[in-house]
Structure 1
Amino acid sequence: MGTGAGFYVYIEASPVAPGNKARLVSPIVQYSGSVQCLTFWYHMYGQHVDTLNVYVQTRLNLGSPVWSKNTTQGNVWRRAQVDVNAKVAFNIVFEGVRGIGYAGDISLDDIDIKPGYCQQGSTATPGGTRAPATVCDFENPTVCGFSQVTTGDQFDWTRAKGKTSSGGTGPNTDHTYNTDQGYYMYVEASSPRRNGDKAQLVSPVYSTTTQYQCLQFWYHMFGRNIGTLNVYLKVGAVTAKIWSETGDQGNKWYIASASIPPQNRLFQVVFEGVRGTGYQGDIAIDDYAIKSGACPVPGGYYIFVETSNPRKTGDAAQIESPTVTPGGQWRKCLRFWYHMYGAHVDKLNVYTKSVSLSKPIWTKQGTQGNAWKLAEIQLGITAQYTVVIEALRGPGWQGDIAIDDVTLSDGSCQPGGPIKFSTPNTFGYRNVFLDLSGVTSVSFKLKACSDGHIQLQPTKSSPEQMNYEAVIGGWSNTQSVIRDSKNGHVVTTKSKVLECGALKPFWISWDGGHIRVGQGLATGQGIFLDYINPTKFVVGGLAVSTGYGADGYWEINDPTGSGTKPLSTYCTFENGTCGWTQDTTGDQFDWILLGGSTGSGGTGPTTDHTYGTGAGNWQNRCHLKSIRKTMMPTS
């Protein structure tokens, strides 16, 4: 009915424990002599939604689910169909599984079962003929009129259910039912197949059209020897590639789409699986459809932390980058866009991790307004490392934090300009990560009330070691000194060189053993510290800090003039998480991939940063423990 006056059945998640199950059993359905089509509508909405399973019970044997769906699917009713192939009388059993919290109600309505396959492979036309199917789940043995190509390829596609015959490749379930009872089409890469062998599957012939159409299908490409899946549009004897994917994409089903322009001739769609280097190269497809209109522009995804119940104050969510191997490009710039909006927003931290987590190298706390903002962090680590981004939950549910468009590039964060950053009042040194080969001076600007420290280091990244250190405006901005780790102060000047709120220019030079510090940006001017060491020393790097009681803002000019190099990594989250993974041991909850609004009022973004659009809402939400490609909802 679509009104509040209509009835449905549901499971109430509030009073029961996680994992508890509720089963609804149909009356006995007699065998009709052929396959029967089960149709029902389901509603699965809420952050704690777990699983809805459907079973075909015969002779009191429940068996395994023939259809399954898990996690929130959005605040909408969705239609599902299942082909029931029982050869005896049976019952339909619906099973709802309670999730981790109260926001996990699951509902059912309009349950029906009729003779025949749910998808007949073609549709009736007004003239009484049959039009070729534009939707196919491959449950019908006729595979909706698809056929094998008999010339030009070396092997065929196979209709299958459950696992493929080879370990470490292929799907475990189909996409339609998400069980081992559903069918899909795949290419078997085992012997006698060879590298480069092709298998082509061609659709029925479609009529001409005056408007764009959208081809959509789900694909599965898992295994270390995966080759290539190509999709072609065939018009007469001419074929044109409209989509392609190569290599291992992980053990998941992913959606793909390609627009088909208006056609003034009959056309077909061709799926081509190309065998890779070994037997672990099975490629599968499922849930094919051609829909009216061009495919929507992809985009609109970001990752965020959901701070609603059952999250508690102080809960942390950490996500870790793939391993970074610096090689010869040890200086890198990490950039990302962040969104921190809401009355209860707490903190966003960034760390590096070699063996263990570093101290935070970047922190932002509290609401920053309803806008995406850019963060830039200069990195300079010579050993392998990862980047860890951590969000902390504040005192309430209006504390969603999001990030998008993460890049890691070689070189300086400010090409052609100064390296800009802040230092807290904790007297912790921060490496500047400059390449000082052949360089004897650096100019910079500093805004601090007192206690600016700049170290001359023997290597690029060794703040625990130093040749000498200049302290500018130390001791409450009453004196400046040059000192070393062995002899303490070697020269002292009484001066008041810093000014709260003012960005003051300085330079430091170290030609041989001669250390000088001056005011201004031109080396040699305004000298107020001067020390000659009879023993020459090598300066390989710089580190800076501000002492206790003084926050600092620095702009350090790059004397080498080397700007940012091409990106070494880039993640927009439009195709999953690009290898970023959840912490599974040291935090309390996870980052979530989402398009559109976070669903909580007064917090979080309403669009992503990449496109400024939302690809949907709650129905597009996916937890990230193993996701690698954008996973879209289906009905």
Structure 2
Amino acid sequence: MLRSLQQPRRSWLITAPTNTTGPSGRCLQFDYSIGGLGVEWLEVLLVTYHSENINEALKNSSVPLDYQVMPLWRTKQTTHGEWQGAQVTFSTLHEHSLVFSAFPDTHYAKYHGYVAMDDLSFTDGPCQQDCMFDLDLCSWSNSETTDDFDWKIGRSSEKRGTGPSRDQASSLITRITTGGYAYVDSSYPRQPGDVAWLVSATLEPTTEPLCLHFWINMHGGGMGSVRVLQMPLNSPVESKELWRLWKGASWGTDTWYPCQQTVASTEEFQIIFEASVGVPGAGDVGLDTISFSRGACPSLPLSSSPGWGDCTFLDDTCSWQVPSITSSYDCNFLSRVAGNKYNPPGHTESVYEITDMYMKFNLNCYKTHARDRAALVSPVITTSSDLCLSFWVFMYTNIASQIHVGALRVVLQSTEKNTTLWRLQNQQHAGWTYAQVSIPAASSVRVAIEGIQGPKVMGMIGIDDIAFFPLNCKLKPTLATVQVADCTFDHDLCTWELQKTNQTYTSSIDKWQLATGDKILRDHTFDADGGGFGYLESFNTQHTSRLKSSLLPQNQTFCLTFWFSEIYPDHSAKLSLIRLVAGNEEVVWSALQSTITNPPVAVDNDATWRYAQVLLENQDSDYQMIIEGRVTRSAWAIDDLLFIPNREDCRLHPPYARP
């Protein structure tokens, strides 16, 4: 009989039938690990039984079994083999079982995958900070001093045309006995503008963002507003609004809607649900099923966010601007897509069955070329404090021999300049990767998430579930870290500039420039034709050209890594790296072509990229780096300059480059 409960293509781990939880509910805590390509999601289900002889029905398939299944928790995120903890609060007045259900990913059916569970425990009462309001307000409480009236526990509205008729859980499964919910009564003696605060217990500082989940019912023609506030414990006057449904934002029907908001703080804090009165007696607000989960999440509904740009892409691109490109062959470089046999599933998680949409950079579009780019641009952002931008990234191709996919970067756009804050390039792994980066406090800026085409490849770069929240956050993944002087030469010389000299250039190629068109060398970043690297060339006339970086910070050690190539035989050709501190120059790396072997340059040899690195010890003041190239009848090429902070192993390479 257990097999008859199980859905096709799913693996179930089910508990024995258990008696009612009582109105206080119960907390399930567990650790889980998900790895491999073959898993699409893991979920926890509540199975409620409505038969009298449950044990007999489970043993004997001839005895009918009446039951209903309700989803409680779901994740689509791989843990990459690590253990993660989770908790789920549930409440039912029926005999029930809990089910762990794992679902395979049909896109990667031929690959292995696993789900592991450990350390399952049950405790009476809700999980910490969760509340289902079936018995009371749990660890939440009404404010005694700051508001005008209180939240109450309700079972069903006593007024027609306003308020919930049932709690959230029983509204999904009608045969479940009605539980409770929290609500505000807007009738007399309430006045327009009166507010009620429901305040959480003290929450500890968060090492990573949390997602606050809750359900709202706004039924009635005279609704006020509902807000979620975050209040620092030591500075109550500095409360921040995280989420708001505006005055009059009734959904028109007696329906519970899922809502969520990212919360994060570096100090102890409390969460406040604030409901205000619109027209007295014409609209009651219901609140139910509060829970927390790990990780950031886009605000739901999207209209509740402060306007920075949260988006799940389920319905549209929200307020993000997308290039207006049309094609009769449906081959746009950037477009909104759904998962299908050509595209992997999106990242958005929901207890409902949804058509998940996300933004895709198509790496096999016939119209694009290497280093072509397109950007998703946010609305104008104005904030007095730092924000954290979080999103999910998919960068992958099924071609095992191809690692060069393209790049994705986050750019802060202002009227003065564009600044790259985050950059990830080339193949990662076959799954969605969490990313985050801090956006500094600023007035009237935009954020662009820009995709850059690599070579033509059957693959994609995807973006999903964008969320902003107030926090100066640590950049993730660390591979996406950028420094101000980094340069991959995709489209320009980045922040590097030609240093003025007394030398007169006789042609356009005898000074450092961006290589364009077909050269003897493919770029190192993407292994693609058409340029995309720094280039210096001269024939029969000796020339020296210098590129100077932007300022590098003092008291910071870097390992400078880069790739270079010598092109055409010229024993006098020389490439040097020079540190400029307070007007004094110091050569830290230098290579003569005559000392380069492995193999020696010959006219008929293809040029080869060579790896180099040099340690840049911390200085007492800001400084600059200079790349100096000397050529007579040859050329130098450089690419992928990266300044890696605090790298321990940074021995000079190649050894012959010692100045």
Instruction: Give the TM interval when normalised to the shorter protein.
Output: 0.3 to 0.5
* TM-score, with length taken from structure 1: 0.38
